[in-house]
């Protein structure tokens, strides 16, 4: 297939990463007020920070910092740590403490922030012939998640993401091939699985060659109908599909899957309409779609980043215009970042509703707000009154127990509730929707089930 590659100007841009170690060399940094510089340096001693030149140059509006949504999305913020943690860390930095001392304090803080350290698996791990499959999670009957080890980082990091427990990637072709053949084996034993969701980190950080090794295996499985690729690269580094030297090869892999008779669904993680505003972002969508793949858009709703109906309406309108399909609005669970990003469920629903009202039917393919919790994906349908009592009306869009799906149920209204755990059944008949089964079907090694959910929806 011939693809138009003409909108590149001169040399193709090189992917350039900036972190805590080198951000102070960038001209943008020099223009930041000292106070913000200090808070970025302090918080990023504890939480990961990674941004790239494209995000700095094209997505952040520096005249609007610190409120700019893309700045909030990628730069660690003062409010992400408690006062206690923040002042401890700031003191060490001001005193120019030893690296080891800073690291030790950071680790202590991380442990307090992260109530579920990775590696504490208590749930079943999928196995094939007695062998455990790391990097595979199978929670809902039709869909299996695959976390290839070579896709465990991202082109930039989102401040709201819990990720400090993982992101130890490995870029080894042999290993990728082995993982993929184990996945194939699992899928062949599970013909009920029609969808494979390749996720991360971000699987599109993979070189095309490594991705091809995974595709080689998946296309052999006849029962797989759809291959989903969860990725933020379409927003953080759309050059991945346009000017990177293996951009065409990556797209060729999408075509191979399609030629094998399967659908390719790119689950594009777009948080804000500005991510669709650049020529390269548009070209990225155009090139992905030219393979026959679709792009579905999903994002959590996050305070400071996209907690306004206007942003969502524009995201869905603009996405639809480019041929993307609005898919999910997720509610963000506690990220460990000091409630900085949290919104009450009722507010999430109001924003969803207001945005939904403003878009045409073609963009109303979106569902939400939805919480990925233990029993399933819990959809907040709205606030209503039942027998004179104010209540949340809810349903499961996905559930471990498929019989629960699409049955409306109720929880007591609570204007401060931010997550499923805060909700109480309204009546006796609502109780079964809140029960946790003893055993879970399967899970991911190294990730708690809940965390794997979070990654699944973030990518």
Ligand X SMILES: *Cc1c(COP(=O)(O)O)cnc(C)c1O
Q: Give the span between the Cα atoms of 252 and 239, in whole angstroms.
A: 15
String of contacts with ligand X for each residue 134-163, x by CB under 6 A: -----xx--x-x------------------
Hey, is 1 helix, strand or coil?
coil
- Per CB under 6 A, the segment of 217-225, 249-257, 410-418, 451-459 that binds ligand X is 451-459
> Taking CB within 5 to 8 Å according to partner kind, which of ligand SF4, ligand X, none is near residue 376?
none
Quote the longest CA-to-CA distance of the chain: 67
- Per CB under 6 A, the segment of 209-217, 380-388, 400-408, 450-458 that binds ligand X is 450-458
Q: Give the span between the Cα atoms of 323 and 305, in whole angstroms.
A: 24
> Taking CB within 5 to 8 Å according to partner kind, which of ligand X, ligand SF4, none is near residue 398?
ligand X
Interface with ligand X, residue 398, by CB under 6 A: yes
Minimum distance, C-beta of residue 136 to ligand X, in the bound complex (Å): 11
Q: Give the span between the Cα atoms of 218 and 184, in whole angstroms.
A: 6
Q: Which is nearer to ligand X, 39 or 372 (CB)?
A: 372
Give phi and psi for 163, each to the nearest 5. -150, -5
Hey, is 423 helix, strand or coil?
coil
> Taking CB within 5 to 8 Å according to partner kind, which of ligand SF4, ligand X, none is near residue 169?
none
Q: Give the span between the Cα atoms of 158 and 458, in whole angstroms.
A: 10
> Taking CB within 5 to 8 Å according to partner kind, which of ligand X, ligand SF4, none is near residue 157?
ligand SF4
Interface with ligand SF4, residue 202, by CB under 6 A: yes
Interface with ligand SF4, residue 154, by CB under 6 A: yes
Minimum distance, C-beta of residue 326 to ligand X, in the bound complex (Å): 13
Q: Which neighbouring-strand residues pair with 269?
A: 298
> Taking CB within 5 to 8 Å according to partner kind, which of ligand SF4, ligand X, none is near residue 283?
none
Residue with tokens 């295996």: 217
The secondary structure of 41-98 as a DSSP string is HHHTTTS--EEEHHIIIII--GGGTTT-HHHHHHS--GGGS-HHHHHHHHHHHHTT--
Minimum distance, C-beta of residue 138 to ligand X, in the bound complex (Å): 8
Interface with ligand SF4, residue 299, by CB under 6 A: no
String of contacts with ligand SF4 for each residue 263-292, x by CB under 6 A: ------x-----------------------
Measured from the Cβ of residue 25, the count of other Cβ atoms closer than 10 Å reads 9
């Amino acid at each position: 297939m011939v693809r138009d590659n003409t909108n590149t100007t001169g040399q193709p841009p090189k992917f350039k990463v900036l972190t805590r170690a080198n951000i102070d060399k960038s001209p943008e940094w020099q223009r930041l007020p000292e106070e913000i510089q200090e808070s970025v340096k302090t918080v990023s001693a504890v939480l990961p920070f990674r941004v790239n030149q494209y995000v700095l140059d094209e997505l952040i509006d520096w005249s609007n910092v610190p409120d700019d949504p893309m700045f909030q999305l990628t730069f660690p913020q003062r409010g992400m740590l408690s006062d206690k943690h923040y002042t401890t860390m700031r003191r060490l930095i001001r005193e120019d403490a030893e690296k080891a001392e800073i690291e030790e304090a950071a680790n202590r803080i991380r442990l307090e922030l992260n109530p579920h350290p990775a590696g504490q698996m208590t749930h079943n791990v999928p196995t094939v012939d007695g062998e455990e499959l790391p990097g595979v999670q199978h929670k809902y009957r039709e869909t299996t998640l695959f976390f290839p080890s070579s896709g465990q980082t991202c082109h930039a990091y989102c401040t709201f993401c819990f990720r400090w427990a993982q992101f130890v990637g490995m870029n080894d072709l042999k290993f990728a091939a082995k993982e993929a053949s184990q996945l194939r084996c699992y899928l062949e034993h599970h013909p009920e699985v029609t969808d494979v969701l390749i996720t991360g980190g971000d699987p599109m950080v993979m070189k095309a060659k490594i991705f091809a090794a995974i595709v080689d295996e998946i296309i052999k499985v006849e029962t797989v109908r759809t291959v989903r690729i969860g990725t933020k690269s379409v927003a953080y580094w759309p050059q991945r599909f346009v000017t990177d030297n293996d951009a065409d090869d990556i797209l060729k892999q999408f075509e191979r899957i399609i030629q094998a008779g399967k659908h390719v669904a790119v689950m594009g993680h777009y948080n804000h309409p500005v991510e669709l505003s650049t020529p390269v972002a548009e070209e990225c969508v155009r090139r992905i779609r030219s393979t026959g793949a679709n792009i579905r858009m999903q994002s959590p709703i996050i305070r400071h980043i996209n907690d306004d109906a206007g942003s969502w309406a524009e995201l869905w309108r603009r996405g639809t215009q480019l041929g993307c399909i609005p898919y999910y609005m997720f509610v963000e669970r506690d990220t460990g970042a000091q409630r900085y990003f949290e919104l009450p469920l009722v507010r999430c629903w109001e924003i969803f509703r207001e945005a939904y009202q403003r878009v045409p039917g073609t963009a109303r393919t979106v569902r939400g707000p939805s919480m990925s919790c233990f029993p399933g994906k819990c959809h907040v349908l709205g606030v209503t009154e039942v027998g004179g009592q104010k209540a949340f009306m809810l349903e499961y869009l996905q559930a471990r127990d498929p019989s629960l799906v699409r049955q409306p149920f109720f929880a007591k209204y609570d204007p401060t509730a931010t997550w499923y755990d805060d909700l109480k059944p309204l009546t006796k008949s609502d109780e079964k929707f809140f029960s946790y089964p003893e055993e879970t079907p399967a899970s991911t090694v190294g990730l708690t089930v809940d965390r794997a959910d979070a990654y699944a929806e973030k990518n």
